[in-house]
Every structure is written in structure tokens, then in C-alpha cells.
Amino acid sequence: MNPTLRQMRALVAVARTGSFTQAAALLHLTQSALSGQIKELEGLLGVKVVERNTRRVELSDVGRELVPLFDKMLQDLDGALADIASRKALRKGVVRVAAPQMMACALHPDIQVLLVDCPVDNVAQRVFSGEVDIGVGPERDAVPDIGTQLLFDLPFMAVCPAGHPLARQHTVSWADVGRHPFIALQGQFTERLLRDMKLRRADSDELQPYSEVTFMTTALALVAAGLGITACLPYAAPMVKLHGLEMRPLTDPELTRKFYIHTKDTRTPTPAAASFTAYLMEFVQTL
């Protein structure tokens, strides 16, 4: 049998005050109740922890050894409980969010979060590993124990230099894109794009990427250098403008990409993470 928290608090209070009367007042107990807890602790341990005399209460050798251990355990526990209470009340806590690098560059919600920018294909895996609380990213191959909630659905936009022939058009078709070097993202971004294009237009020529990169920021830099054109989603507009590039709606066919909030089904979200998820859903609905 182990000492109870009440017994440990009783011994620490007696050590701090040197008095049963003051220790009882500190713990909001009667003196007899406090004395009973000390006796229960001594009975459990089989040794005295307090030496009583008429003038002052003193600790035994065993009591002096136990007090710093009990005090450290109680401080750690009290600190953890206070932290949990604060998180429950949403007064503190960090929400770790994995998002594609381009979205992390452009997303500035009025709430404190820790953004982990990563390749698009790694978002769900970051959630699965527990590195982040939630992920925001496009639909990808299913990851075990990962749940998804639709956040938004956005159309693809063509991106080209300001002086490019496509910049003179109000809209750009995928056939137009195929006539220029196309810079795509590696992995499922291009795979799903080509699949969706075939599903929407079976007679369309397959798009042949000229180059494939890991991050959209790299693709935009290559476009700015005049090495080709690319496609992205509207949330990348701030970075597109930063590079002095132009965006045009992509049509024929008009393809969209669904973005989801990814969470781990086997883990209860923290209050802060749940609050941030609700905030994201409300924020998107106002757009």
C-alpha cells in the first residue's frame, strides 16, 4: 500500500510550519484530522515520521528523508493539474498544426498556433505519428486511424510570368497549359491531377510535367525565372504576387481540390485543438 496524497500533504505541511496547529490551518483541517493522517502514514510505513514534544514538532530521520520527495511529487502533480485546468478552460495550450508549406506561408488566423510546414503528402502522416494535433491538407491516400472533415474545395489556377502569353487571357485551358513547360509537384499532387483530368475529359492529351519539385514555393521561383508555368490553388495568391506572377482561372475542364482537416481517431483532441478546428470551420464559412 502506498501513502495517500492527503498523508503526503500532511507531512509536508507539518515540516513547513513545525506545528500541528498551523499545518492544520494551512490544509483547512482540524488538528485531530491532521494528526490522524500522520498516524496513518506512520502505521503504513511502520516507523515514526514526526517526533512530538511539548515545545515543537520535529521530523524523525525518516521524516526528513521523505519530505523533499513528497514535496517534489506534490509540486509536479499540482503543476500538471493546474496546466490541465488551464487547457480545459482554453486559457493556454499549444495547437500543433501540420499544413502544406504554401498554406503555412499564407495562413494567418487570429489565434496562436504552432505551424509545421511540410510536403503536402506528409500532412496526414504527421498527424498519425502524433507530431501534430491536426493537419490541414488535400485528400490523399488513406492513413490508418486518421479521420477527415471537409474544410473547403478550391479551383486550380494557372500561374505564369507577367509578360507570358497566357497572362493576356482571362482564363486558361489545360490544353493551353500543355503547350508550355509545366512545373508540377512531386507525388500525389500530379498523379491525382492527371487522373482527375482524364475522368473529366477522356479525349484530352495527358499533361506532361517538364519538371517536378517538392514545394510550391520552389515551383513559383522557377516560374519567376522564366523556366515554365505551374498550377496552384487561390490561397497561394500572396506568394504569387510576391514573385510578381499572374494567376488565371483554369478551365476545360475546371478541376478543384478538396482540403480536409485530418485528426487521429484514436486520440481525444485537446480543448484547444477542438476550439481551433471549430474556428477553422467557421472562418471558412465566412469567406
Q: Are residues 135 and 82 in the same domain?
A: no
Q: Which of 70, 88, 106 is the last residue of a domain?
A: 88
Q: Are residues 38 and 62 in the same domain?
A: yes
Q: Look up residue 230 and give its amino acid.
A: T
Q: Are residues 134 and 212 in the same domain?
A: no
57-59/96-100 β-pairing = unpaired
Q: Which of 47, 64, 88 is the last residue of a domain?
A: 88
- CB 23 within 8 Å of CB 14: yes
48 closest CA partner among 31, 34, 65: 65
Q: Are residues 203 and 268 in the same domain?
A: no
Q: Are residues 166 and 225 in the same domain?
A: yes
Which has more pLDDT, 191 or 233? 233
Q: Does residue 180 register a pLDDT over 90?
A: yes
The residue behind cell 492513413 is: 143
Q: Are residues 68 and 136 in the same domain?
A: no
Mean per-residue pLDDT over the chain, rounded: 83
Q: Are residues 247 and 171 in the same domain?
A: yes
Q: Is residue 152 part of a domain?
A: no
Domain containing residue 25: CATH number: 1.10.10.10
Could you give the maximum distance between any two Cα atoms of the chain, in Å?
101
Q: Is residue 141 part of a domain?
A: yes
**Residues 6+ away with beta carbon under 8 Å from 56:** 18, 19
Q: How many domains does the chain have?
A: 3
Q: Are residues 60 and 21 in the same domain?
A: yes
**DSSP-based helix, strand, coil % in the chain, nearest 5:** 45, 25, 30
Q: Does residue 162 register a pLDDT over 90?
A: yes
Least trusted range by pLDDT, from 44-48, 254-258, 270-274: 270-274
Q: Are residues 131 and 270 in the same domain?
A: yes
Model confidence band, residue 103 (pLDDT cutoffs 50, 70, 90): low
**Residues 6+ away with beta carbon under 8 Å from 129:** none
E-only strand ranges, 162-204: 172-173, 182-185
Residues facing residue 99 across a β-bridge = 117
Please report which helix (H) or strand (E) contains residue 76, including its range. Answer: helix 61-88
Predicted local distance difference test score (pLDDT) of residue 120? 74
Calculate what percentage of the chain has a pLDDT beyond 70.
86
Predicted local distance difference test score (pLDDT) of residue 111? 47
Q: Is residue 167 part of a domain?
A: yes
Q: Are residues 246 and 166 in the same domain?
A: yes
**Other C-beta atoms within 10 Å of 41: how many?**
23
Q: Are residues 161 and 223 in the same domain?
A: yes
DSSP state of 187: T
Record the cell numbers describing residue 261, joined without a space.
Answer: 482537416
The mean pLDDT of 56-71, rounded to a whole number, is 88
Structural domain boundaries enclosing 241: 157-254
Q: Are residues 42 and 115 in the same domain?
A: no
Record the cell numbers describing residue 104, joined without a space.
Answer: 503555412
Domain containing residue 201: CATH number: 3.40.190.10
